[in-house]
Amino acid sequence: MSNFLTSSQVSSIDSNIEKYEIADIFKEYGERYLETHNMPYSHQEIMKDIITCRTEFLGGHKHKCDNDSCEKEWYAWNSCGNRHCPKCQAMKKEEWLQKRKRELLPVPYFHSIFTLPHEINPIAMYNKEVIYKMLFDSTAETLQLFGKNELDGKLGFISILHTWDQKMLYHLHLHCIIPGGALSFKGDKWNNSKPDYLFDVIELSKVFQKIFVKKLEKSYKKNELYFKGEILKLGTQKGFEELIKTLLSKDWVVYCKKPVSAEVVLDYLGRYVYRVAISNNRIVKVDNDKVTFLYRDHSDGDLKPITVDVDEFIRRFFLHALPGNFYRIRYYGFLSTKMKNIYLPKCRELLGLSPKLPPIEKISVKQFMLDYAEIDISKCPYCKKGNVKTIGEIEKINNLTLNDVFNFANWDP
Q: What is the pLDDT of residues 38-71, one digit of tens each?
A: 999 999 999 999 999 999 999 999 999 999 999 8
User: pLDDT at position 5, please?
Assistant: 43
Q: What is the pLDDT of residues 329-346, one digit of tens each?
A: 999 999 999 999 999 999
Residue 351 has pLDDT above 60, yes or no: yes
User: pLDDT at position 412, please?
Assistant: 53
Residue 14 has pLDDT above 70, yes or no: no
User: pLDDT at position 17, please?
Assistant: 54
Q: What is the pLDDT of residues 102-136, one digit of tens each?
A: 999 999 999 999 999 999 999 999 999 999 999 99
User: pLDDT at position 1, please?
Assistant: 31
User: pLDDT at position 270, please?
Assistant: 79
Residue 6 has pLDDT above 80, yes or no: no
Residue 94 has pLDDT above 90, yes or no: no
User: pLDDT at position 16, please?
Assistant: 46
Sheet of 388-394, strands arranged across: 73-77, 60-65, 388-394
Report the residue count for the chain. 413
Domain boundaries, the chain: 103-277+320-350
Mean pLDDT of the chain: 90
Q: What is the pLDDT of residues 281-293, one digit of tens each?
A: 999 999 999 999 9
Q: Distance between CA atoms of 175 and 158, rounded to whole angstroms?
A: 8
Q: 195's torsion region: left (phi>0), alpha (psi -120 to 50) or beta?
A: alpha
Question: Using 50, 70 and 90 to split pLDDT, how confident is the model at 176?
Answer: very high
User: pLDDT at position 213, please?
Assistant: 98
User: pLDDT at position 48, please?
Assistant: 96
Report the 10 Å Cβ neighbour count for 349. 13
Residue 312 has pLDDT above 90, yes or no: yes
Average pLDDT score over residue span 261-277: 81
Q: Measured in whole angstroms, how far is the alpha carbon of residue 318 from the centre of its chain?
A: 13
User: pLDDT at position 271, please?
Assistant: 78
Q: Distance between CA atoms of 252 and 133, rounded to whole angstroms?
A: 18
User: pLDDT at position 381, please?
Assistant: 92
Give strand ranges (E) for 27-95.
60-65, 73-77
Q: What is the pLDDT of residues 376-402, one digit of tens each?
A: 889 999 999 999 999 999 999 999 999
User: pLDDT at position 74, please?
Assistant: 93
User: pLDDT at position 411, please?
Assistant: 52
How large a percentage of the chain has pLDDT more than 70?
A: 94
Angle at which helix 201-221 crosses helix 237-249, to 10 degrees, equals 170
User: pLDDT at position 9, please?
Assistant: 46
